[in-house]
Amino acid sequence: MTISGIILAAGKGTRMKSGLPKPLHKVAGVALVGHAVRIMRIAGVENINVVVSSDLANSDALQSALLPRVTISVQSEQLGTADALNSARSAVEAADSIVVAPADMILVTGEIVRQMITTHEESGAHATVLGALVDDPSGLGRIKLDASAKPVGILEEHEADEELLQSHLINTAWYCFDNNWIWNALDLVEPAETSEVYLPRVIKSAAAAGRVRAVVSDNGEMGQGINDRVQLSRVETIMRQRTNEAHMKNGVTIQDPATTYIDIDVEIGADTRIGAGTHIGTRSTIGSNVLIGPNTQITSSKIGNGATVDGARVINSVVGEGATVGSNSLLRAGSELMPWATVGNLAEIKNSVIGSGSKISHFSYIGDTKIGVNVNVGAGTVTCNYDGKKKHPTVIEDEAFIGSSTMLIAPLTIGKSARTGAGSVVKFDVVKGDTVAGVPAKSIKSK
Ligand code: UD1
Ligand code: CA
């Protein structure tokens, strides 16, 4: 059987009180709509269409929130969830079944969605709904059961009678539908008193034909939605806990999970240890036997096996195998530490390559620079890369020794094994093997 997914993400999200549309709010580094896509993909749903409002349809923010091969439909007016689904009608024509999801129920797991699909397909139902038993059902639609515990319909809180309001069985708004059945059923849905058309109303007609099923999770987390920012933070906490536990089960030591913030889509190798107060941003890759933290921030970066990043910030950079970044140092975009390179304390590195075995052990600024192997950069060295208008490059070749507090006025090349004296201001290229000192620096080799 072929299956397609539709994510409804065109709602106004009024309760977020935000200029940002709700589907783009992030949990653990990924937009809500991106979470829904990931859950579907884990459940085995490849073809996915997202229904959005017209202002979001062409936005870069939406594109970067989605994974590749996700298509988009537009709901031009927010007339309710049934109307939103209708907007994707032509996008899923080829499928036998469709999985429908909201953008704001992201603690549902791929596993239970897979189970819903299996139940749906094996039973030949017109509609299968994913329910959850929750402690606090307030604000959510309730699944109404008959005397034999079969679902007969779904009612929103404002439509439910006293007896149904006592029920803790809520509608997660994840469904599986027969693609040959759903569209006629949608056409027959009458608007509610709010004048919106409610998708859950199709369950009543499927039940009338005896063709409805429910898969119910007794894990209350699955029924935790996001309508406001308090719920957003609750979901964030649960998501992080799940992520931390998955890494720990894979062999990663996390000293204090409560203060460790690992986004989703982060890979971490076994025997890596993460100290308290660490943040690791989405799409980062961390090797095995790495020491991270305490109090470290890694964003969109790759950290090699056996490296150490201790109390530093690493942004869009690469730290090679066995390399070290020390406390209060900052690696900015485009930096690469080759294997066994060292950046010690209070250094800032931007758009630079630091060769294997080279050391920048103490406070320094290195920008737009290429450093060869086994170079020593003394404390307080600055690459003066900016002349007020343009940035210029610096090259420091293998085995060079840069004395403390050297000012390297770029563009500049320091040749292989060359040396600069402490406090020198180097304006002109230094040839291989030469030693320069002074302000401005001159060769002192022959003296
Ligand atoms: C909906 C369900 C409710 C369920 C709850 C679970 C309806 C009528 N009710 O309520 O039974 O318990 O989800 O979270 O469906 N959307 C659109 N276009 C619209 C309206 C909504 O795309 O015109 C999207 C929203 O962006 C959201 C999803 O549909 O992702 C659900 O809409 P929302 O307004 O959050 O519905 P709830 O009131 O939470
Ligand atoms: Ca909702």
| Residues 141/200, Cβ–Cβ less than 8 Å | yes
Which of 35, 81, 89, 175 best tests ligand 1's pocket when mutated (most atoms within 8 Å of CB)? 81
pLDDT attached to residue 418? 98
- Whole-number Å distance, alpha carbon 65 to ligand 2 midpoint, is 19
Mark whether 362 is an active-site residue: yes
- Report the chain (447 residues): mean pLDDT per 10 consecutive residues: 96 94 97 98 97 94 92 97 97 94 98 98 97 96 93 96 96 98 97 95 97 97 96 98 98 98 97 98 97 98 98 98 98 98 98 98 98 98 98 98 98 98 98 98 84
- Whole-number Å distance, alpha carbon 171 to ligand 1 midpoint, is 10
- Whole-number Å distance, alpha carbon 227 to ligand 2 midpoint, is 5
pLDDT attached to residue 297? 98
Question: CA–CA separation, 101 vs 137, rounded Å?
Answer: 19
Write the CATH number of the domain with boundaries 256-443.
2.160.10.10
Q: Which residues contact 68 (CB under 8 A, 6 or more apart)?
A: none
* Phi and psi torsions of 339, nearest 5°: -50, 140
DSSP state of 16: G
| Residues 99/182, Cβ–Cβ less than 8 Å | no
Pairing of the two strands 127-133 and 169-178: antiparallel
Pocket of ligand 1 (CB under 6 A): 8-11, 51, 75, 78-81, 83-84, 102-105, 140-141, 154, 156, 170-173, 198-200, 225, 227
Question: CA–CA separation, 372 vs 182, rounded Å?
Answer: 64
pLDDT attached to residue 446? 66
- Residue 304 CA: distances (Å) to CA of 263, 269, 300, 320, 333: 19, 10, 13, 5, 17
Q: Residues of CATH 3.90.550.10 domain(s) within the chain?
A: 3-223
Q: Which residues contact 239 (CB under 8 A, 6 or more apart)?
A: 27, 28, 106, 107, 264
Task: Find the ligand nearest to 12 CA.
Answer: 1
Q: Which strand ranges, in their side-by-side order, compose the sheet holding 297-299?
A: 261-262, 279-280, 297-299, 313-315, 330-331, 347-350, 364-367, 382-384, 407-409, 425-426
Indicate which atom in ligand 1 lies nearest the CA of residue 79.
23
- Residue 89 CA: distances (Å) to CA of 44, 74, 82, 100: 21, 11, 11, 12
CB atoms < 10 A from the CB of 267, how many? 12
pLDDT attached to residue 443? 97
| Residues 276/294, Cβ–Cβ less than 8 Å | yes
CATH match for 3-223 among 3.30.450.90, 3.30.70.20, 3.90.550.10, 3.40.50.620: 3.90.550.10
Q: Residues of CATH 2.160.10.10 domain(s) within the chain?
A: 256-443
| Residue identifier of the C-alpha nearest atom 8 of ligand 1 | 198
pLDDT attached to residue 12? 86
DSSP 3-state of 280: strand
Contacts 24+ apart (CB under 8 A), 437-440: 437/403
Task: List the one residue out of 88, 85, 128, 103 whose CA is nearest residue 38.
Answer: 103
Q: Which residues contact 339 (CB under 8 A, 6 or more apart)?
A: 304, 320, 321, 322, 323, 356
Indicate which atom in ligand 1 lies nearest the CA of residue 22.
26
pLDDT attached to residue 105? 98
| Residue identifier of the C-alpha nearest atom 31 of ligand 1 | 102
